[in-house]
Amino acid sequence: MVNSGLKYPFGKRIRKIRENKKLTLKTVASSAGVSESLISQIERDKVSPSIDTLIAIIDVLDIDLEYIFKDLKKKRKVNIVKAEEKNIRTIGDITYHQLSAISSSEGDKTKDIEAYLIEIPCDSEKGSSEYGHAGKEMGFIMDGSGELEYGGINYSLEKGDSVSFASDIPHKLKNIGSKPLKAFWVTTPPRLFINND
């Protein structure tokens, strides 16, 4: 057990609920199978109960576990990219519009992802038939007609089609239609906008 100055105090919440339910320390202690003095110390944040004891107490009081630990919830970052703030990168005649870059909570860059729109003019292509790169990709054809060459095999892609693959195999996406090919693309880990998170 831990002395006063607990890192995660929640005793006051337990006491408030017990008192609202008009239950005595003795009643809760008896039902939870612990001593009355232990319940008192927990409510005053003098000791930290074991997991089993805590679960027994919240069962007796019919408390939602999430309520007890609501202050411990981590605030997750939400990334919003405003239309006027989008990064745009042009490589050759291919245009990339960054939609988002999401960093993993663990700090592992291999789990980060990025999403962007691709615009490929007629008879142009992105990628390479000679080499790949680490990661995975997923794409959705928004408009136009394309052809994915993956590991030496060609796959036809039309509006509404989606595709996903491991990026370590040589691959390239070519516009084979009569108008610009537009696609929504997701890659992990990020490659295009890696310095523009």
Q: Are residues 57 and 22 in the same domain?
A: yes
* pTM of the complete model: 0.61
Residue 171's pLDDT is what?
95
Question: Strand 153-158 vs strand 181-188: parallel, antiparallel, or unpaired?
Answer: unpaired
Residue 194: inside a domain, yes or no?
no
Q: Are residues 96 and 182 in the same domain?
A: yes
Contact of 40 with 18, CB cutoff 8 Å: no
How many domains in the chain? 2
Residue 191's pLDDT is what?
84
Question: Strand 145-150 vs strand 171-175: parallel, antiparallel, or unpaired?
Answer: antiparallel
Contact of 105 with 135, CB cutoff 8 Å: no
Q: Mean pLDDT for each 10-residue chunk of the chain (197 residues)?
A: 62 90 93 93 91 91 82 72 85 92 63 91 93 93 97 96 96 96 94 64
Tokens describing residue 30: 């008896």
CA angle 30, 32, 34 (to 5 degrees): 70
Q: Are residues 66 and 98 in the same domain?
A: no
What sign does the CA torsion over 124, 125, 130, 131 have?
Answer: positive
CA–centroid distance for 27 within its chain:
43
Name the residue range of residue 173's domain. Answer: 83-188
Q: Are residues 109 and 20 in the same domain?
A: no
Contact of 186 with 136, CB cutoff 8 Å: no
Residue 82's pLDDT is what?
83
Residue 197's pLDDT is what?
40
SS3 content of the chain, % helix, strand, coil (to 5): 25, 30, 45
Residue 3: inside a domain, yes or no?
no
Please report which helix (H) or strand (E) contains residue 59, including its range: helix 51-61
CATH of residue 61's domain is: 1.10.260.40
Residue 103's pLDDT is what?
66
Residue 129's pLDDT is what?
86
Domain boundary among 20, 50, 72: 72
Residue 1's pLDDT is what?
42
Domain boundary among 23, 53, 72: 72
